[in-house]
Amino acid sequence: MARKITPSAEHDSTRGRLLQAAGEVFAERGLRGATIEMICRKAGANIAAVNYHFGGKENLYYETIKWGRKCCAGMEELQAEELAKLTPRQALRRFVADYLRTLLSPRNPAWYFRLISREMAEPTPALDRFIREVIHTRRLCLAGVIERIAGGKLSARRLELIGSSIVGQCLFYNHCQTIVLRLRGKSAYEQTDVDELVEHITAFSLAAIKGFTT
Amino acid sequence: MARKITPSAEHDSTRGRLLQAAGEVFAERGLRGATIEMICRKAGANIAAVNYHFGGKENLYYETIKWGRKCCAGMEELQAEELAKLTPRQALRRFVADYLRTLLSPRNPAWYFRLISREMAEPTPALDRFIREVIHTRRLCLAGVIERIAGGKLSARRLELIGSSIVGQCLFYNHCQTIVLRLRGKSAYEQTDVDELVEHITAFSLAAIKGFTT
Amino acid sequence: MARKITPSAEHDSTRGRLLQAAGEVFAERGLRGATIEMICRKAGANIAAVNYHFGGKENLYYETIKWGRKCCAGMEELQAEELAKLTPRQALRRFVADYLRTLLSPRNPAWYFRLISREMAEPTPALDRFIREVIHTRRLCLAGVIERIAGGKLSARRLELIGSSIVGQCLFYNHCQTIVLRLRGKSAYEQTDVDELVEHITAFSLAAIKGFTT
Amino acid sequence: MARKITPSAEHDSTRGRLLQAAGEVFAERGLRGATIEMICRKAGANIAAVNYHFGGKENLYYETIKWGRKCCAGMEELQAEELAKLTPRQALRRFVADYLRTLLSPRNPAWYFRLISREMAEPTPALDRFIREVIHTRRLCLAGVIERIAGGKLSARRLELIGSSIVGQCLFYNHCQTIVLRLRGKSAYEQTDVDELVEHITAFSLAAIKGFTT
DNA sequence: AATGAATGAGCCTTCATTCAT
DNA sequence: GATGAATGAAGGCTCATTCAT
């Protein structure tokens, strides 16, 4: 999963450094809050570079999201195949583990998910793209796993609700990261802590699903 | 629950109208995205009014959050007492219902939770206050309910994790509101839909908790 | 004719000083060549004043033209009445004299005609207004004078052509001002020189008109 | 008259294409309004080409005018000789026809006269050159024609004034082109219309000159 | 208490020019 | 000879804040 983070071709060009810097700055301060001066400084580029390479701040924003998406791609396609090889319960654990690690890992374009998270509060056209390309796939994948666990006895709506319950549990640790870190200390998301979260969410959800099938 | 929304004394003074307007605008556009001009226009006040009454934009922001908090106050204290009178399972349902309705209702200072939600992405000193005054109370309250359901057999850490699972399920519908609305249509949060969500989350969580106690 | 140059109410307000300064600077450098910094410096105003009072550079431009128009107004209405009282030949002399003096006088909003002159090369929406409000009146007025001189024997097209010939002779000294000044020295447009031009153009045109009627 | 429009040697070199493109763009938008990027795009050249070949935008401007001048050269010398062969009245008609067609024709380096026209409003050093090399010749030429018509009875000043009256009538249709086109429709400058203008201006001027000699 | 006018800092963008290849 | 990348200066605009009334 955590493989090449940035297409190597871009990595050392000015354009590539701008994308990388933009991702981090946009994630931290949002489209409006980020200034192209910050981005260029971080990228070691001239302040006019953004307009030269991307034609404007807004366009850089979209290119950044598109690029972040590309960097994370491969995960979803891979996942569907791999999950099919596991037992239903293993598949759920694996789904939760992958998702949670993606959300919490400081690696990956870490900024990508923070960016999308911001899109929730203040949607831009980029969000539609994300829904079409990412959300749909993930929903189907998760629904498939749940169905296998339940043994096919649940309505589509129930599958959907259970999926939301599982995703919600994972997203909580991303969305409320700030609060969790303050309550449990800065080391709340170490490797072993994340393992514990995976175990808990998996167990919690399996038990819950069982409750709907008996 | 839905009681006095705004302390009546403030309601028609310039100062009060500014707070009300600021809450709505800040919630919609964030601290940075909101402009003093928008707020004053909405409040029907002069553009210098914010600095006159609050001494600056940032200070208005803090006062707005403080005021929003005050408008919602009373809920928590009330809740703790009421929950104690219910059976454990009823108490959980009630907790979820209150929480979800608070998060999704267009009433209440609807903007208050959107404001706090924004604080997650870009914390200001206001977040600390919120954690101290709101989160702690709610955590204890919820942990108590779970403990009563489980019958006292769970570790503190497990109580915490279960609490997060429940809160995460609720928050999902707030945090991913934009996506849910696009996927399920604009009427996804009608009265009956929220009822369905409450039922699902309660059932899901009860079954899960039972899984940890057997 | 040369009366109040600027509506006195505006004269000492920041807004009024901006209009005055803008007129001069726009006339000298054009819409694009003028910078709001130049204008504000000349008006003794802050650089943000233009946006505060007019909402942008372009809008200031239109307001400036509109205001310049207003400052010159009164001339046309007055003229038509006065001309009717004169003999045909006196009326032509008077028309030429008024027009030429307006074009060449350093008084009046001197910049107004330079602005309009620039509009010829690079029209903006302001030109349409000018045609509607000024040109039409002047054409009719001049055609009337010519008709009286000719004694009603000319076609409408001929009246038009003669009018253009007269206006063209006058405009020459405005349009080619730069060249004339270089060829005949800086004092080419003194009072007596302009008198000479008026006499010449009148005599030239009267003789020509006579040529069309015999 | 309409002969070689561009010295053929330049025509397909990058340098030549730049001059051609620059002429058109400068004529349309002025020195300041034209951007190097527009010119290079139109010339199909790299954005650095202007600085490479001409050492800067301003220098390109001067070279463009110089080149435009060269393209129109030959006309004047030719003219003087030809006019001498005609009767005085034919010579005037011919002068007006040539001048008007040059001013209005979309052929010739059409942009050359629009460029010079712009120089009137905002003179650059190029204007002095133009006066020295073009205006003087034309003045003398025209004065000669008038003198022949009048039969040598007029003062030098009168010749000058009459010359200005004739040139002014012609320039009108160039300078006020925008207005004429709006008033008489887009086809105001068709072949037959220009013929009509030539006839009118010639007749008007001949009659006027006659007025000064009797 | 309240307001309209005015200000200055900061930002995005354009554009002529330069540099390295 | 020619080019794509990069740069810095400058301009217009937004906006929180201050001032005078």
Where does the pLDDT of residue C25 fall: very low under 50, low under 70, confident under 90, or very high at 90 and above? Answer: very high
In terms of pLDDT, which residue wins out, A128 or B110?
A: A128
pLDDT at site B103: 85
- Tell if the CB–CB gap between B175 and A120 is shorter than 8 Å: yes
**Which residue on chain D is closest to C28 by alpha carbon?**
D122
Tokens of C39: 């204008």
Any idea which fold D73-213 has? Answer: Tetracycline Repressor; domain 2 (1.10.357)
Strand F–CB A11 distance below 7 A: no
**Whole-number Å distance between alpha carbons of A184 and D164:** 91
Average pLDDT over residues C9-37: 89
Where does the pLDDT of residue D14 fall: very low under 50, low under 70, confident under 90, or very high at 90 and above? Answer: confident
- Residue A9 predicted with pLDDT over 80: no
Average pLDDT over residues B34-58: 94
Of B139, B140, B9, B137, the closest CA to residue B71 belongs to B9
Do residues D61 and D26 lie in contact, with contact meaning Cβ atoms separated by under 8 Å?
A: yes
Nucleotides of strand E lying closer than 7 angstroms to a protein CB: 1-20
Do residues D45 and D17 lie in contact, with contact meaning Cβ atoms separated by under 8 Å?
A: yes
Whole-number distance in Å between A8 CA and F4 C1':
21
Q: What is the pTM of this model?
A: 0.85
Whole-number distance in Å between C50 CA and E12 C1':
19
Q: Which of A52-61, A99-108, D140-149 has the lowest mean pLDDT?
A: A99-108
- Residue D164 predicted with pLDDT over 90: yes
Interface test with C, best of D165, D180, D181, D201 (most C CBs within 10 A): D165
Q: Which of A64-78, B33-47, C160-174 has the lowest mean pLDDT?
A: A64-78
Do residues D49 and D8 lie in contact, with contact meaning Cβ atoms separated by under 8 Å?
A: no
pLDDT at site D33: 92
The second-level CATH assignment, the architecture, of C7-70 is: Orthogonal Bundle (1.10)
Residues of chain B found within 8 Å of residue A169, distances taken between Cβ atoms: 164-165, 168-169
Contacts of B12 (CB under 8 A, 6+ apart): none
Q: Which of C148-162, D65-79, D141-155, D170-184 has the lowest mean pLDDT?
A: D65-79
pLDDT at site D5: 41
- Tell if the CB–CB gap between D30 and C29 is shorter than 8 Å: no
pLDDT at site C76: 64
- Tell if the CB–CB gap between D173 and C168 is shorter than 8 Å: yes
- Residue A42 predicted with pLDDT over 90: yes
- Tell if the CB–CB gap between D171 and C176 is shorter than 8 Å: yes
Strand E–CB D48 distance below 7 A: yes
Pick the most confident of A112-116, B135-139, B163-167, D127-131.
B163-167
Residues of chain A found within 8 Å of residue B30, distances taken between Cβ atoms: 30, 32-33, 121-122
**Which residue on chain C is closest to D33 by alpha carbon?**
C32
**Whole-number Å distance between alpha carbons of B65 and B54:** 13
Q: Which of A92-106, B124-138, C24-38, D8-22 has the lowest mean pLDDT?
A: D8-22
Do residues D42 and D3 lie in contact, with contact meaning Cβ atoms separated by under 8 Å?
A: no
**Which residue on chain A is closest to B165 by alpha carbon?**
A169
pLDDT at site A6: 41
- Residue C198 predicted with pLDDT over 90: yes
- Residue A206 predicted with pLDDT over 90: yes
Of D181, D110, D34, D190, the closest CA to residue C123 belongs to D181
Return the C-alpha torsion angle B47, B50, B52, B53, nearest 10: 140
Chains that touch C (3 or more CB pairs under 8 A): D
Average pLDDT over residues C131-159: 91
Of C42, B128, A142, C173, the closest CA to residue D168 belongs to C173
Chains that touch D (3 or more CB pairs under 8 A): C
Average pLDDT over residues C59-66: 94
Where does the pLDDT of residue A73 fall: very low under 50, low under 70, confident under 90, or very high at 90 and above? Answer: low
pLDDT averaged over chain C? 88
Q: Which nucleotide is at minimal CA–C1' distance from A48?
A: F7
Do residues B27 and B21 lie in contact, with contact meaning Cβ atoms separated by under 8 Å?
A: no
Do residues D114 and D27 lie in contact, with contact meaning Cβ atoms separated by under 8 Å?
A: yes
pLDDT at site C10: 57
Nucleotides of strand F lying closer than 7 angstroms to a protein CB: 1-20
Task: For Cα atoms B146, B152, B153, give the angle at the middle one, nearest 5 degrees.
Answer: 110
- Residue C90 predicted with pLDDT over 90: yes
- From the list A172, A183, A209, the residue facing B168 with the nearest CB is A172
% of residues, chain A, pLDDT over 90: 56
Nearest residue (CA) to C1' of E3: B46
**Whole-number Å distance between alpha carbons of C63 and B63:** 42
pLDDT by residue (tens digit) across A117-131?
888 888 888 898 888
- Residue D115 predicted with pLDDT over 60: yes
pLDDT averaged over chain B? 87
Average pLDDT over residues D53-62: 94
Cα diameter, chain D: 64
pLDDT at site A113: 85
Q: How far is C115 from chain D (nearest CA, A)?
A: 10
Tokens of C163: 């009018």
| Contacts across the A-B interface (CB distance below 8 Å) | 138
- Residue B77 predicted with pLDDT over 90: no
Where does the pLDDT of residue D6 fall: very low under 50, low under 70, confident under 90, or very high at 90 and above? Answer: very low
pLDDT at site A5: 37
Do residues B130 and B188 lie in contact, with contact meaning Cβ atoms separated by under 8 Å?
A: no
Q: Which nucleotide is at minimal CA–C1' distance from C51?
A: F13
Average pLDDT over residues C84-104: 91
- From the list C30, C197, C208, the residue facing D204 with the nearest CB is C208
pLDDT at site D56: 93
Show me where the domains of chain D are located: 7-70, 73-213
% of residues, chain C, pLDDT over 70: 91
Residues of chain A found within 8 Å of residue B119, distances taken between Cβ atoms: 178
- Residue B109 predicted with pLDDT over 50: yes
- From the list A176, A211, A212, the residue facing B210 with the nearest CB is A211
**Which residue on chain D is closest to C118 by alpha carbon?**
D121
Where does the pLDDT of residue A86 fall: very low under 50, low under 70, confident under 90, or very high at 90 and above? Answer: very high
Where does the pLDDT of residue B111 fall: very low under 50, low under 70, confident under 90, or very high at 90 and above? Answer: confident
Residues of chain A found within 8 Å of residue B178, distances taken between Cβ atoms: 119-120, 123, 127
- Residue B2 predicted with pLDDT over 50: no
Strand E–CB D46 distance below 7 A: no
Average pLDDT over residues C149-168: 94
Of B140, B137, B147, the closest CA to residue B209 belongs to B147
pLDDT by residue (tens digit) across A144-193?
999 999 987 899 999 999 999 999 999 999 999 889 999 998 888 888 99
Where does the pLDDT of residue C158 fall: very low under 50, low under 70, confident under 90, or very high at 90 and above? Answer: very high
- Tell if the CB–CB gap between D127 and C173 is shorter than 8 Å: no
- Tell if the CB–CB gap between B169 and A173 is shorter than 8 Å: no
pLDDT at site B1: 34
At which residue do the structure tokens 């009822």 appear? B195
Of B205, B61, D174, C106, the closest CA to residue A166 belongs to B205
**Whole-number Å distance between alpha carbons of C36 and C43:** 10
Chains B and C touch (3+ CB pairs under 8 A): no
Whole-number distance in Å between C58 CA and F12 C1':
10
Interface test with D, best of C204, C209, C213 (most D CBs within 10 A): C204
**Whole-number Å distance between alpha carbons of B191 and A85:** 41
Q: How far is D46 from chain C (nearest CA, A)?
A: 25
Q: Which of A82-96, B187-201, C86-100, D120-134 has the lowest mean pLDDT?
A: D120-134
- Tell if the CB–CB gap between B170 and A170 is shorter than 8 Å: no
In terms of pLDDT, which residue wins out, B37 or A12?
A: B37
